[in-house]
Chains A and B, each alone.
Chain A
Amino acid sequence: MIPTTFGIALIVFGLYHIAPGDPALVAMGSAADGQGTGSDTESKLDEFRRKNGLDRSFVVQFLDYVGPFNLGPDGHPWFTSPRTERRVEDTDVPVEEGEAPRTVREGRPVPIELPFGTTDDERNALDRLVGALGTPGIDEGVRAEARAELIAFAAGSGAAKSKALARIFQALFENRISGPDEVPVIDRLAGVLTEITGDTPTLDAALEARDGRRHLVKRWFAWYYTDGGADRTRNTGDERWGGVLVGDLGRELENKTPVAEELGKRLKVTVPLAAAAVFLTYLLALPLGIFSVRRQGTVADGALTLGLFVLYSVPTFWAGLMLILIFGKTGLDWLPVIGLFDKDHDQLTAAGKVWDVALHTLLPVATLTYGGLAYLSRQMRAGMLDVIRQDYIRTARAKGLAEGSVVYKHALRNSMIPVLTLLASILPILVGGSLIVEVVFNIEGMGKYAYDGLLKRDFYIVLATTLFVGVMTQLGILLSDIAYALVDPRIRLS
């Protein structure tokens, strides 16, 4: 079962990534429909990718989702990731007498790593260019060339820019530690940064006087952590565990509520509905099947068979809409058609509440049931007809057993075996149906949750619901296997 669940996750994850088009673009498309063009969109996309970890490789993202370790942006779990912290702090400025105390935002320089996915070629090129800028005593012409080349590199795309920035900040950090205060290297690097980003951090004179070039470096790091978009900290080990294996299904993209929590809330609606539908399906299908076998060949049997057959062909969504039309306001006005509760549900008595919910669930459950019912009673009839042609039934009849005894004792029990196993195939029909039924009747259940997730292109919701449904189906298969073994003594689970 676990490998199968793993397989489901892999398939859905794969679909999400293999589907033609950029997942970030698709997800953004629903958030900001076609706002901005060109480089603006490109930088927004980059930001989105960074925020949601989409800039990492497929394998890293998948392992991060599955768990049990939370993987950092560098693709490391807490125990292999170098522990560093990036911090922005407000430094108190040494002020003169009488002046109001003020603070300046400074960033703590840390070793920066190049972003995930930097190729060796890019690494070498950046090392060479930044090295040419940093190393003293190099011909100025070469330096100017390197500078121009670096700026051109950063202008390439959003990804190239963040790589170049990371490398330059790396150089800034190294010079802060090893170099003397007044190295022109830092000024040179800051100049390039200004060229690339179009930003110049304002320097505080008092702090500059105290810290020298160090202040410039800290100001640039502050920019890098906030405006520069590198605000994602490394994997510090604060949240060591995560992913599906520890029950963490991620957070919704839009309002960041945990998906598992919301899913649990929705399941309280969907599971009772589905259970009622399964129960009703079996409850109705058995007598119908028996009826049509006992009256085999009569007009009633023919009509019933044809009726169920036709019922099987009705699209679920249409059946729901028609029920609403017939029983709702515009038709007979017998039943409420939207949601699970009335507006004044809270003021009702306990009995009134039950009655209210029962009225509201009648149409959705009917819509959920009819498809499975038609399918099941057809199979039931076929199974029983198959059994009734067997020799032992002929024997039972020949020895003079009452027809009722033959049907209920001999035929029914034996024909139940295949019908029980159908539970496994009815569950997916129900789940697929529940999505449509919940959309049509506007019920805030799991199906509607999945649908809303699809419309919002929220990957976490979609993957969580699909995984859950997959697990449920497997449980259904397991259940029907067990039931099979219970009903049929010939089967032994080995």
Chain B
Amino acid sequence: MAESKRNVPRIDFESMRDAEAPEFASEYAKDYWDLVFEQLGRRWLFKTGVAVLTLLYGVAAFAPLLASDKPVSVQSVALGAYSKAVRVSPMASSALNTAKLDEAAYVAGLDPAAVDAPPSRAASVRAELDAAQLRLGTMRSMLAPDAEERASLEAFEAAFLEGAEALERGDGEAALEALGRAKTESRAIRKALKPLDPARADRGGVGLVARQSQPLYESIAAWEAFLMALWIAVATWPVWNRLVNGVLLRGNRYRVRAARRWKLVAVLLLSLVCAFAWRAHFGPVASFDSSDWKGGITDGSIVLLEEGRSTADLVAERAESGDAAPAGPDASDLAVWAPIPYGYAELHEDEKFRAPTWTARAELDPETGRSVFALASESAGDGGAAVAGVSAESNPVEIRAGELPLNHPWRHALGTDESGRDILTRMIWGARISLSVGILSAALLTLIGVVIGSIAGFFGGRVDDLIMRGIEILQTIPALFLILLALAFTPPGTIPPMFAVVIVIAVVRWTGVARLVRGEFMRLRDAEFVVAARALGFSSRRTIFRHVLPNAMSPVLVAAAFAVASGILTESAVSFLGLGIKEPQASWGGVVNESRNVDLWWIQVFPGLAIFLTVTCYNLVGDAIRDAMDPKARV
């Protein structure tokens, strides 16, 4: 049993290995964990459960790569961004106006409420210059490297800079003169550097050069990369573990046992390295990224174009072929999208409450973009049309860049919700929250339970009495009630809802683990090895942490596996009741909460199935671990 792994007498196995045949190692030297793993390996339900869970965690870890409204890689010209950047004259004229003011008048005119307003004229002009330089940077990056127009940008910047410097020196006259020049220059820029829009080539303008970018990768943070790498390392464990054990460690059981810890460290280190590498390559994630790639490409403010070519080339080519359609490679090849091209909070109001697109009910008329079935349900009366999805009154549904055709069976494989968000996407992203709530709450409640349980069990007496009374009181209140109550009375915005749910679940549910640990402590308190530890004069800290706790951990591990399952169940119930994770964030229970209308069955069925599957797998795994760790108590 559990004690044995600590009390194996020290034998010099290394020397024995050389003397004995290798069978010795494989036959007689199994330790507790070897036995546990062997037991687990025999259970197909356990293996299936672990496989499904691994898959689900993979989906959660790779959610951004699976479903996102950002292209993976795109070669394009951002016409819209350039048109915005070309307007540098507001900065110049605002700087000029500031320079015209008296310093005292400027300071008097400051709004006392605006804390971060520039304190002086010079600082204000400097801020304008920074803003203008940002726009200049955008323009320079898009203009052809040999474009003559670049000269006017240089002139503008030089004049602006001269004005700002003059103002800092206190030379008002020179500043006014230089900023005046900058203003004139900025007007010229706006006229001369107008972008050439291929859709309206007759208006003329400057050709812009396409660049390649990877918006999706840039939106993935280092911690996400860490989890992805960790998942890959864990999921491929059966493969590399066998290789490492067989080739590197030559199947020697003692070496394998010694290497367990190092394998864990290596996996974590490797994932950390991956995360750092990711961060180094793609840079930090912009905190607020509002760029709407799909909308932009659809309405023409982002033009797809091979890298290095300019819009001028495109227009010339079209003129040559005398055709409005773009010649050359199909424009859709230039943007690569995620397999499911929707964001988890990407709205598409026109397509709200659309049934899964493989059902007949979801069919849209490709001409009008409206539901074929809306009319039928309207004639049926009873307001069914109001919820039956894309109705005849709503705007026609349009296909945005990267999306599948209107009636493609996989366009919205699991339907859409009240704001036209794709349910499958929300479930993929919801897996992140639901699964992490399960793991985190189980970890936290185990920690709390172990600490309090060990205190009660080790000290006994008054402390024990007090803690046990507290536990009794807590256990008398149904956990769901207490959790809902705590969440309802925590005002939104104090902590992220996910962590609120985790903390509340842990704070309410630790009692079971604490009782377990306390029971184990009571049992082990008079065990021989603990008495021996005491007799050897070890401190109570050493006795607890080195001798008692490790042996009390196996029932706790089992309880933790079940706690993950119940954490996921609780989170889904709480979110379903509208008190947990709220929109726009997605969690499985929260998606179900979006509608309880029986006509919108897809909103209720699929997320529930996901919860059910996950919880079943966790329970199977927990059950198998319990049986494997304690064969006597097998149910």
Report if A and B associate in a common complex: yes
- Chain A residues proximal to chain B, CB less than 8 Å: 3-4, 7-8, 11-12, 15-16, 19-23, 25-26, 29, 306, 309-310, 312-318, 321-322, 324-325, 328-330, 337, 378, 381-382, 385, 428-429, 431-432, 435-436, 439-440, 450-451, 454-455, 457, 462, 465-466, 469-470, 473-474, 477
Cβ B477 vs Cβ A470 within 8 A: yes
Count of A-B contacts judged by CB separation below 8 Å: 151
Of the residues B475, B485, B589, contact of A466 by C-beta under 8 Å: B485
**Binary flags per residue of B579-621, CB closer than 8 Å to A gives 1, else 0:** 1000000000100100010110100110010011001101110
9 contacts between A and B (CB under 8 A): A16-B485, A19-B490, A309-B620, A312-B619, A330-B598, A432-B480, A451-B484, A466-B481, A474-B476
Nearest-CB residue, chain B, relative to A314: B612
CA distance A462 to B611 in the complex (A): 28
Rounded to whole Å, the gap between the CB of A30 and the closest CB of chain B is 9
CA distance A131 to B478 in the complex (A): 56
Of the residues A15, A337, A436, contact of B489 by C-beta under 8 Å: A15
Contacts of B608 in A (CB 8 A): 315, 318, 321-322
Of the residues B479, B491, B565, contact of A20 by C-beta under 8 Å: B491
Of the residues A432, A435, A462, A473, contact of B476 by C-beta under 8 Å: A473
Known: A26-B491, A317-B576, A451-B577. 15 other contacts (CB 8 A): A8-B473, A15-B485, A312-B619, A313-B618, A315-B572, A315-B573, A317-B572, A330-B599, A330-B601, A435-B484, A436-B576, A455-B578, A465-B481, A466-B481, A474-B476
Cβ B592 vs Cβ A321 within 8 A: yes
CA distance A16 to B487 in the complex (A): 10
Contacts of B482 in A (CB 8 A): 11-12, 15, 466
Nearest-CB residue, chain B, relative to A329: B598
Contacts of A450 in B (CB 8 A): 481, 484
Rounded to whole Å, the gap between the CB of A61 and the closest CB of chain B is 14
Nearest-CB residue, chain A, relative to B494: A20
Within 8 A of A (CB), among B554-576: 565, 569, 572-573, 576
Does B486 count as interface, using CB distance less than 8 angstroms? yes
Rounded to whole Å, the gap between the CB of B207 and the closest CB of chain A is 50
Within 8 A of A (CB), among B479-532: 479-482, 484-486, 488-491, 494-495
Contacts of A322 in B (CB 8 A): 604-605, 608
Does B281 count as interface, using CB distance less than 8 angstroms? no
Nearest-CB residue, chain B, relative to A21: B491
Query: With A4-B472, A324-B598, A451-B577 given, is the CB distance from A432 to B491 under 8 Å?
Result: no
Of the residues B477, B573, B611, contact of A8 by C-beta under 8 Å: B477
Cβ B604 vs Cβ A431 within 8 A: no
Does B422 count as interface, using CB distance less than 8 angstroms? no
Contacts of B576 in A (CB 8 A): 315, 317, 436
Cβ A428 vs Cβ B479 within 8 A: yes
- Of B494, B577, B589, B611, which is in contact with the most chain A CB atoms at under 10 Å from its CB? B577
Nearest-CB residue, chain B, relative to A425: B475
CA distance A490 to B293 in the complex (A): 75
Secondary structure dominating the interface of B: helix
Rounded to whole Å, the gap between the CB of A117 and the closest CB of chain B is 22
Does B623 count as interface, using CB distance less than 8 angstroms? yes
Contacts of A466 in B (CB 8 A): 477, 481-482, 485
CA distance A4 to B578 in the complex (A): 30
Rounded to whole Å, the gap between the CB of B488 and the closest CB of chain A is 4
Does B541 count as interface, using CB distance less than 8 angstroms? no
Cβ B476 vs Cβ A4 within 8 A: yes
Contacts of A462 in B (CB 8 A): 485, 488
Query: With A328-B598, A432-B479, A440-B596 given, is the CB distance from A454 to B474 under 8 Å?
Result: no
Does B635 count as interface, using CB distance less than 8 angstroms? yes
Contacts of B623 in A (CB 8 A): 309
Cβ A310 vs Cβ B616 within 8 A: yes
Cβ B572 vs Cβ A378 within 8 A: no
Nearest-CB residue, chain A, relative to B491: A21
Of the residues A312, A325, A465, contact of B601 by C-beta under 8 Å: A325
Cβ B596 vs Cβ A313 within 8 A: no
- Of A440, A451, A454, which is in contact with the most chain B CB atoms at under 10 Å from its CB? A454
Contacts of B480 in A (CB 8 A): 432, 435-436
Chain B: number of interface residues, binned into ranges = 35 or more
Contacts of A19 in B (CB 8 A): 486, 489-491
Nearest-CB residue, chain B, relative to A428: B478
Rounded to whole Å, the gap between the CB of B597 and the closest CB of chain A is 10
Does B469 count as interface, using CB distance less than 8 angstroms? yes
Rounded to whole Å, the gap between the CB of B337 and the closest CB of chain A is 32
Cβ B592 vs Cβ A318 within 8 A: yes
CA distance A3 to B596 in the complex (A): 41
Cβ A318 vs Cβ B494 within 8 A: no
Contacts of A431 in B (CB 8 A): 478, 481
Contacts of A477 in B (CB 8 A): 476
Contacts of B605 in A (CB 8 A): 322, 325
Nearest-CB residue, chain B, relative to A453: B488
Rounded to whole Å, the gap between the CB of B3 and the closest CB of chain A is 23
Nearest-CB residue, chain B, relative to A466: B481
CA distance A466 to B481 in the complex (A): 7
- Of B472, B479, B481, B592, which is in contact with the most chain A CB atoms at under 10 Å from its CB? B481
Nearest-CB residue, chain A, relative to B611: A315
Rounded to whole Å, the gap between the CB of B530 and the closest CB of chain A is 28
Rounded to whole Å, the gap between the CB of A289 and the closest CB of chain B is 12
**Binary flags per residue of B439-453, CB closer than 8 Å to A gives 1, else 0:** 000000000000000
Cβ A325 vs Cβ B604 within 8 A: yes
Within 8 A of A (CB), among B193-247: none
Cβ A469 vs Cβ B620 within 8 A: no
Cβ B494 vs Cβ A21 within 8 A: yes
Of the residues A11, A328, A385, contact of B635 by C-beta under 8 Å: A385
Contacts of A316 in B (CB 8 A): 573
Cβ A469 vs Cβ B598 within 8 A: no
Cβ A454 vs Cβ B491 within 8 A: no
Rounded to whole Å, the gap between the CB of A88 and the closest CB of chain B is 36
Contacts of B565 in A (CB 8 A): 313
Contacts of A315 in B (CB 8 A): 569, 572-573, 576, 589, 608, 611-612, 615
Query: With A436-B573, A436-B577, A466-B485 given, is the CB distance from A318 to B612 under 8 Å?
Result: yes
Query: With A16-B489, A322-B605, A466-B477 given, is the CB distance from A317 to B472 under 8 Å?
Result: no
The 7 A-B residue pairs whose C-beta atoms are closest, nearest first, are A318-B608, A21-B491, A432-B480, A7-B473, A313-B616, A428-B478, A313-B615
Rounded to whole Å, the gap between the CB of B612 and the closest CB of chain A is 6
Rounded to whole Å, the gap between the CB of A343 and the closest CB of chain B is 15
Contacts of A457 in B (CB 8 A): 488-489
Contacts of B479 in A (CB 8 A): 428, 432
Contacts of A20 in B (CB 8 A): 490-491, 494-495
CA distance A310 to B615 in the complex (A): 9
Cβ B489 vs Cβ A469 within 8 A: no
Contacts of B598 in A (CB 8 A): 324-325, 328-330, 337
CA distance A408 to B470 in the complex (A): 40
Contacts of B494 in A (CB 8 A): 20-21
Rounded to whole Å, the gap between the CB of B184 and the closest CB of chain A is 45
CA distance A129 to B608 in the complex (A): 66
Nearest-CB residue, chain B, relative to A1: B476
Cβ B601 vs Cβ A469 within 8 A: no
- Of A21, A310, A318, A324, which is in contact with the most chain B CB atoms at under 10 Å from its CB? A318
CA distance A474 to B473 in the complex (A): 10
Query: With A322-B608, A328-B598, A378-B635 given, is the CB distance from A21 to B476 under 8 Å?
Result: no
Rounded to whole Å, the gap between the CB of A465 and the closest CB of chain B is 8
Cβ A321 vs Cβ B604 within 8 A: yes
CA distance A382 to B623 in the complex (A): 13
Query: With A455-B578, A466-B477 given, is the CB distance from A12 to B619 under 8 Å?
Result: no
Contacts of A382 in B (CB 8 A): 635
Nearest-CB residue, chain B, relative to A447: B481
Cβ A25 vs Cβ B491 within 8 A: yes
Nearest-CB residue, chain B, relative to A23: B489
Cβ A11 vs Cβ B616 within 8 A: no
Cβ B577 vs Cβ A439 within 8 A: yes
Cβ A313 vs Cβ B490 within 8 A: no
